[in-house]
Amino acid sequence: MKIAIIGGGAAGCFAAIETARLLPRADIHIYESLKRPLVKVGLTGGGRCNLTNSFRHVTSAEQVYPRGARLMKRLLKEFGPADTMAWFEREGVELVTQTDECVFPATQKASTIVDTLTRLLAALHVKLHCARRVKAIVATEAGYRLSMADGGDVEAQAVVVTTGGYPREASMSLFRPLALKTVPPVPSLFSFTLADDRLKALSGTVVEQVTARLTTTKFKATGALLITHMGLSGPAILKLSAYAARHLHDSGYRATLSINWWGEATEDDILATLRSHAAPRSARQTGTTTPSHLCRRLWHYLLDAAHIAPHRRWSELQPKELRRLAALLSNHQLSLTGRNPYKEEFVTCGGIALSEIVPSTLESRAHRHLYFAGEALDVDAVTGGFNLQAAWSMGYVVARSLSRALADANDNAANANEACPMD
Ligand SMILES: Cc1cc2nc3c(=O)[nH]c(=O)nc-3n(C[C@H](O)[C@H](O)[C@H](O)COP(=O)(O)OP(=O)(O)OC[C@H]3O[C@@H](n4cnc5c(N)ncnc54)[C@H](O)[C@@H]3O)c2cc1C
């Protein structure tokens, strides 16, 4: 039985390895459009490959998977982060978990992960066809016909689609003959561009804990914030960009952003903190007594935004001025004017609609022996190793489903032969 895996990325290679282990006699082929497999994995984590996360601070799948949380909750039970770590360690890859719970190879090199997977593909006799792009997948009576961009067709009884994210809608054209429902692809994980030049002049400033929100929506995220020469970035902004990826795309990346510079404190909490900060310092200038979590330059910028001159003494401030400062610190509104990439990292929100697949097997509901794994599906995560974890989990589940389905198919064929010995 021939199994064709379309895409030699994280999910495709992992699915191939696991399938080859479960079905040692299967004829497994990977068709990859680039000249080498796992090119993107080699770029992950800034070349260090953040291959998973301990999930220690993850309280719900929704927190890290803005799309596909329900599916991921189920799949993580089958193959979760501890399984990923054990899997790579069994293959001789030493791992380190950073204080932020991101997991990397101890070599700090993504090539360690690429080399490990490539070595296993060869050892398990998976046939890798690079520089072979699949143009279309057509269902036939015997299974599937893959029409290749370089000409010629490939026949297979089972197909696993692991073509990754789709920066452009045109990249989804290979599914057209299958009439599958797709969700239009839009980017996720990006930094925000702002018009405020004075804020941008503070480029490089980090605030450990803010809450970033899009006004008039339910989208909000907490975490560290980084001021850049273009606007804002850092974990809180990247998370917000992922949660609100489609909303921001639809609004042309124009929105009003609200920053709470005091994390999750309310305006009243901040007012109380300002009062207790001011009381022992009443004779000092507001600009010289900076709250501990904000740097002096940012504090001056915020005082200015609240129309308070930094030479004014705390004792000179009217109650309504203190209230205005607390209001600004808890809800500082800034105009978002666009998006810009976060390093080179991006993921796609959108892909094959989850309604098209059986969640427990990742098999197509409409087409037997057609499976999907990885970013090809409408599943994506925030940064921190969660996207690659999704690729490993799905690759693992597809391999199990495939081996069960093909074993059943073989049993049925054997039974049919027994029933009709003359055939
Ligand atoms: C720069 C960068 C850094 C990242 N860093 C991290 C990180 O540190 N941690 C993390 O968890 N996530 C990270 N991500 C996200 C993560 O890399 C992806 O979510 C993950 O690789 C998805 O795996 P996949 O197998 O679904 O897709 P991919 O790894 O993208 O693989 C898909 C493969 O399919 C091939 N393909 C596509 N169409 C066809 C076709 N028609 N025919 C044949 N082949 C085809 C592509 O060439 C590609 O090799 C990063 C992403 C980027 C871009």
Q: What CATH number did the domain enclosing 124 receive?
A: 3.50.50.60
Q: What mean pLDDT do residues 45-51 have?
A: 95
Please tell me the predicted confidence (pLDDT) of residue 343.
64
Q: What mean pLDDT do residues 137-162 have?
A: 95
Q: Compute, in angstroms, the gap from residue 164 CA to the centroid of ligand 1.
A: 5
Binned at pLDDT 50, 70 and 90, residue 167 comes out as low
317 and 398 housed in the same domain: no
Please tell me the predicted confidence (pLDDT) of residue 293.
86
Q: Collapse the DSSP code of 146 into the 3-class scheme (helix H, G, I; strand E, B; otherwise coil) and give the result.
A: strand
247 and 147 housed in the same domain: no
CB-defined site of ligand 1, < 6 Å = 6-12, 31-34, 39-41, 43-45, 49-50, 133-134, 162-164, 174, 344-347, 374-376, 385-388, 391
Ligand 1 test: best mutation among 52, 67, 178, 388, most atoms within 8 Å of CB? 388
Is residue 418 predicted with pLDDT exceeding 70?
Answer: no
Distances (CA, A) of 291 to 163, 208, 319, 407: 49, 13, 19, 66
- 105 lies in a domain? yes
Q: What is the mean pLDDT of the chain?
A: 94
Please tell me the predicted confidence (pLDDT) of residue 423.
38
* Total number of domains constituting the chain: 2
Domain termination residue (choose one: 287, 308, 341): 341
What digits encode the pLDDT tens for the residues 303-323?
Answer: 999 999 999 999 999 999 999
What digits encode the pLDDT tens for the residues 4-45?
Answer: 999 999 999 999 999 999 999 999 999 999 999 999 999 999
The tokens for 60 are 């719900």
Distance CA 24, CA 227 (A): 52
- 132 lies in a domain? yes
Q: What mean pLDDT do residues 208-234 have?
A: 96
55 and 171 housed in the same domain: yes
Please tell me the predicted confidence (pLDDT) of residue 166.
75
Closest-lying ligand 1 atom to the alpha carbon of residue 394: 26
Q: What mean pLDDT do residues 345-355 have?
A: 88
- 423 lies in a domain? no
- 292 lies in a domain? yes
Please tell me the predicted confidence (pLDDT) of residue 417.
62
Residue nearest to atom 52 of ligand 1 (CA): 345
224 and 158 housed in the same domain: no
- The answer to whether the CB of 385 falls within 8 A of the CB of 51 is yes
332 and 197 housed in the same domain: yes
What digits encode the pLDDT tens for the residues 291-302?
Answer: 878 999 999 999
What percent of the chain is predicted at pLDDT more than 70?
95
168 and 285 housed in the same domain: no
- 212 lies in a domain? yes
Domain termination residue (choose one: 323, 341, 359): 341
216 and 299 housed in the same domain: yes
Ligand 1 test: best mutation among 5, 111, 153, 163, most atoms within 8 Å of CB? 163
- 213 lies in a domain? yes
Is residue 422 predicted with pLDDT exceeding 50?
Answer: no
215 and 336 housed in the same domain: yes
- The answer to whether the CB of 236 falls within 8 A of the CB of 383 is no
Considering the entire predicted model, what is its pTM?
0.92
Distance CA 362, CA 52 (A): 21
245 and 314 housed in the same domain: yes
What digits encode the pLDDT tens for the residues 359-379?
Answer: 999 999 999 999 999 999 999
Is residue 387 predicted with pLDDT exceeding 60?
Answer: yes
What does residue 154 show for φ and ψ, rounded to 5 degrees?
Answer: -125, 130
Alpha helices in 361-422 (DSSP H): 386-419
332 and 373 housed in the same domain: no
Binned at pLDDT 50, 70 and 90, residue 141 comes out as very high
Closest CA to 43 of 379, 371, 341: 341
Handedness of CA 281, 282, 285, 286 (dihedral sign): positive
Closest-lying ligand 1 atom to the alpha carbon of residue 395: 25
What digits encode the pLDDT tens for the residues 55-92?
Answer: 999 999 999 999 999 999 999 999 999 999 999 999 99
194 and 334 housed in the same domain: yes
114 and 83 housed in the same domain: yes
Q: Which residues pair with 67 in a beta bridge?
A: 380
Domain of residue 394, residue span? 2-186+348-418
Please tell me the predicted confidence (pLDDT) of residue 324.
97
Is residue 416 predicted with pLDDT exceeding 90?
Answer: no
| DSSP annotation string for 97-138 | E-TTSEEEETT--HHHHHHHHHHHHHHTT-EEE-S--EEEEE
Domain termination residue (choose one: 341, 367, 399): 341
Please tell me the predicted confidence (pLDDT) of residue 415.
66
What digits encode the pLDDT tens for the residues 94-118?
Answer: 999 999 999 999 999 999 999 999 9
